[in-house]
Amino acid sequence: METSGKVIKCKAAVAWEAGKPLSIEEVEVAPPKAHEVRIKVLATGICRSDDHVLSGCISTVHFPVILGHEAAGVVESVGEGVTDLKPGDKVIPLFVPQCGECTSCQHPRNNLCVKNDLGKHRGLMADGTTRFTCRGQQIHNFLNTSTFTEYTVVEEIAVAKIDDAAPVHKICLIGCGFSTGYGAAVNTAKVEPGSTCAVFGLGGIGLSALIGCKVGGATRIIGIDINKDKFAKAKELGATECISPQDYKKAIPEVLLAMTDGIGVDYAFECIGHVDTMMAALQSCRVGCGTCVVVGVSPAADQISFNPKLIVTGRTLTGSVFGGWKSKDCVPRLVSDYMAKKFNLDGLVTHTLPFDKINEGFELLRTGKSIRSILVF
Ligand code: PAD
Ligand code: ZN
Ligand code: ZN
């Protein structure tokens, strides 16, 4: 059936309010307006950032909302003026867009296009409305993407065309988790051969950072997690040692110092989202040149305070969103690199579930049983 130009009725998981399970509903998805693209979502991952909205940790998101931001699909139709995409193209929606024109896009080292919706969480398209309706009510977008739905509409600046042969059930992770962690290591930290790295948190983001550390040539990669069930996968992906804070009386920075002959680590990655582990990661870094990269998202009101001696003595505290990648340029290249086997992210997918089991997918994440669950339609 020709759907172009028409409203599509389809299945979506609507978050009506925080703290409640998602509700599978029939939604109406309006056709794309000028410079917009309607995408048939084929596979979408569940990221901890989606759960942060449901748990209230990211409290600025407007409800009701369709969450999800890590997906792959095909273009169903395009709005007026869209020239670089056509129906049938395989694509990844981009939760950090790349307009190509703003001061951030023009800056060689800045990937945070001003058109991102990360801090403000307007949850609306550029014209101030959304394309989703359910039970007569407008439903908000999430991070320019909203992928927990069979069809979504995104701005053309928030979609990357990728290799037609790429397996959507795996490379959907390039839409967030993989690129975020991997880029934190290869772009933000620029891990060098021979270095020692520590990865705090061995979920989808941490394990992707670990893959990046390995690709960067790190000789020692120490994984840290309170859930020891994560250790086997971490070792499979390249961790040389794994430790749990619960096995030590000493604090983790002291443990890491002892493990490195008092030197500390060259690079530490915080992939959890707690201010205390961010501090521990910074304190674990080598004096004079160690770098701590914060990737985890902490509750909105949390603050860090620390003795400036930690950084005056040459440590660097930094962070990145989406691994520092300029999204529209780099996502197609990351997919090509995956196809060329420059890295393997398949091990991050622990569960593949039918879309209707989305709440089960969230439970697997919350109980620490999954790395990434992929929902398929
Ligand atoms: P996840 O829940 O799969 O992984 C977190 C891991 O941390 C789990 O294995 C936990 O067991 C472990 N953990 C929890 N508390 C501790 C602790 N005190 N000490 C050691 N380990 C602990 O989440 P994820 O990998 O999907 O996401 C991780 C964070 O990254 C999360 O805060 C998410 O919001 C953030 C994120 N940031 C970006 C970005 O662009 N910066 C993108 C996507 C996700
Ligand atoms: Zn994410
Ligand atoms: Zn821009």
CA distance 8 to 5: 9
Residue 10 among the catalytic residues: no
Ligand 3 center to 322 CA (angstroms): 14
Amino acid 82: pLDDT = 98
CA of 72 to the centre of ligand 3 (A): 22
Ligand 1 contact via 50 beta carbon (within 6 Å) = no
Domains 8-175+345-376 and 181-320 share a fold: no
User: Which segments of the chain have a pLDDT < 50?
Assistant: none
Q: What is the pLDDT of residues 136-176, one digit of tens each?
A: 999 999 999 999 999 999 999 999 999 999 999 999 999 99
How far, in whole angstroms, is CA 271 from its chain's centroid?
Answer: 11
Does the predicted model carry a pTM greater than 0.85? yes
One-letter amino acid of 271: C
Q: Nearest residue CA, atom 44 of ligand 1? A: 49
pLDDT value for 134: 98
**Active site (annotated) includes residue 49:** yes
The residue from 172, 176, 271, 330 that is catalytic is 176
188: Cβ below 6 Å to ligand 1?
A: no
Instruction: Check if the beta carbon of residue 15 is closer than 8 Å to that of residue 54.
Output: yes
Could you count the other beta carbons within 10 Å of the beta carbon of residue 213? 33
Which residues 6+ apart lie within 8 Å of 29 measured at CB?
A: 7, 8, 9, 10, 38, 131, 132, 149, 151, 152, 153
Ligand nearest to the CA of 325: 1
Cβ neighbours of 21 (radius 10 Å):
14
* Known catalytic membership, residue 244: no
52 is annotated as an active-site residue: yes
> How much is the pLDDT for 120?
87
Q: Is 204 in the pocket of ligand 1 (CB under 6 A)?
A: yes
Quote the CATH superfamily of domain 8-175+345-376: Medium-chain alcohol dehydrogenases, catalytic domain (3.90.180.10)
Q: Secondary structure of the chain: what % helix, strand, coil (to 5)? A: 30, 25, 45
Domain range 181-320, CATH class: alpha beta
Q: Minimum-distance ligand to the CA of 112?
A: 3
Domain ranges of the chain: 8-175+345-376, 181-320
What confidence score (pLDDT) does residue 113 get?
98
Respond yes or no: is residue 62 known to be catalytic. Answer: no
- Measure the N-to-C terminal CA separation of the chain; round to a whole number of Å: 18
* pLDDT at site 28: 98
